[in-house]
Amino acid sequence: MAYSGHEPPNNFSRSTPSPIPDMTRNRLPTLFEVLSRRTHPPVDLFSFYIYMRDQQRSVDYLDFWLDVAQHMSLCRHYVRELRRSVLVGTPDGERSGSKRSSAVLEAMGEMRDGPAGPSHYSTEKEKEQNAQMSAYLREDQPMTPGMQHQDSPASSQERRARASSHLSTPRGLTTDSNSPAHAVAREDIRASAEKILYTFLLPGAEREITLPGSITQDITTAIEQDGRDDPEVFDVAKDYVFQAMERDAFPGFLRARALGNLIPPTIIARLITGLIAMFGAFWTAFVLIFLNMSRQTRCWVILPFTVGVYLLASYQYSLDPIMGLIGFSEYTPFNFSRITEPYVRKLIVKRSMMVLGITMLIDAALCVLFILVPGKRL
C-alpha cells in the first residue's frame, strides 16, 4: 500500500478519470474534493501529489492519508461482501460468527464506496455505519486482545515482514481470500493496519511522519497489544494529517497551480535568462546610442527587451501568459497538462491577459525611450 515517495501512485495517474466530476464548480476546490478525485488538472490529486513530493517535501503525509483511506475501503468491502453472504444464507454467513454478528451486519445497511474523508466531512449516516463497522471488526478479530504484546521481538519482526510482503502490490484489492465471493480476506485488513503502523508511525519507520506522541502511542497500543485493525484506530491521526495538509500545504498548492502554471525550477531559470536578456538589451541600447546609430537600427533593441521583460514578468507572477492563454500548465520540467478545471481555466486566462498587458506596456516604454532618445557619438 505504501509507496517509495519517488513516483506518484499508479492508481491516480493522468489517464485515470475523476469518478465524481464537478464541472459546474465556480470556486477553487477544497482539499477534500482534491483527495476524493472530484477535480481536474491542474488541481487534481496527481498534481497535488507532485506538489507534495517536489515542493513541500512531505509526500509521506499524503501517502499516509491515502493508505488510511484505502484501509477504510478494504474494511468496507470486506464487511459489505460479508453482509451480502449473510443475507443470501451462504456458508460464509455461517462462518461469520454468531447470530448476533449476523444481526449487526444486517442492521448496518448497504455501505457505499464513497471517499473515506475526515470525520467532519461525514454525514450522520456514514458516521453511524463506520462506527458499526468498526465495532463489528473488533468483535471479529482473528485473535483475542492482549495476545500480541506477549510476542517476542522476533515475532514482531516477522509480523512486520509479513505485512510488507502481503501488501507489496499497489493500492487495490487482493484476491487471496478463503471465499471466492470475497475480494478481501480478513487477514488483508490486519496486514493493512500493520503495514501503515510499521511504515509511517513507529519510531525509526521507513517513512516516519511526525505526529503527537499520544496519537502514535494510542495507535501502536491498539494494533500491537489490543489486536485491533478497525478503521477507527486511525481516525485521530487521519484527521490530524488532513488538517495539517489543509493548513500548511494546500494554500500554497492552490497559489501555485490555480494562479500560476510554472514550477520553481522553471521560474528560477526564467529569472536568470530574463536578467541576462535585460543586461544584453541595455548594453546594446547604450552602445547604439553612443555610436549615434539611426533610430531604425536601434529598433533591434525591441527583441532583447521583449524577451527580458516577458521572462521577468513570468518569474514575478509564476505564470507564462502565452501558455496560459492556450490552456497548458507545467507539472514537472518539460511536462505539461491541459487545464481542464473550468474555474481555474478562467482564472489563468484572466491573469495571463493581465501579465501580457503589463509585459507589453513595460516593453513599449523601454523601447520608445531607447529608440527615440537622441544619439551622441562619443
Dihedral over Cα of 140, 141, 143, 146: its sign: negative
Radius of gyration of the chain (CA): 29
Q: How many CA atoms lie within 13 A of 364 on its CB side?
A: 6
Give the single-character DSSP code of 335.
Answer: E
Question: What is the pTM assigned to this prediction?
Answer: 0.79
Q: How many Å apart are CA 34 and CA 42, to the nearest integer?
A: 11
Identify any residues that bridge with 330 across adjacent strands, giving them in sequence order.
336
What pLDDT digit, counting tens, does each position of 197-229 carry? Answer: 999 999 999 899 999 999 999 999 999 999 999
Q: How many Å apart are CA 170 and CA 101, to the nearest integer?
A: 32
The pLDDT of residue 175 is 38
The pLDDT of residue 87 is 61
Dihedral over Cα of 138, 141, 147, 152: its sign: negative
For the ranges 133-137, 149-153, 310-314, 329-333, the one whose mean pLDDT is highest: 310-314
Burial of 23: CB neighbours in 10 Å, binned 0-12, 13-18, 19+: exposed
Across the range 12-39, mean pLDDT stands at 73
The pLDDT of residue 33 is 93
Q: How many Å apart are CA 378 and CA 101, to the nearest integer?
A: 99
Domain ranges of the chain: 20-257, 260-372
On average, the pLDDT of the chain sits at 81
Given a cut of 80, whether residue 154 has pLDDT beyond it is no
Could you tell me the three cell numbers for 172?
A: 487495490
Q: How many Å apart are CA 199 and CA 188, to the nearest integer?
A: 16
Q: How many Å apart are CA 7 and CA 30, to the nearest integer?
A: 24
* DSSP E strand stretches across 254-377: 328-332, 335-338
Write the CA distances from 295 to 298, 310, 346, 375, integer angstroms: 5, 23, 41, 9
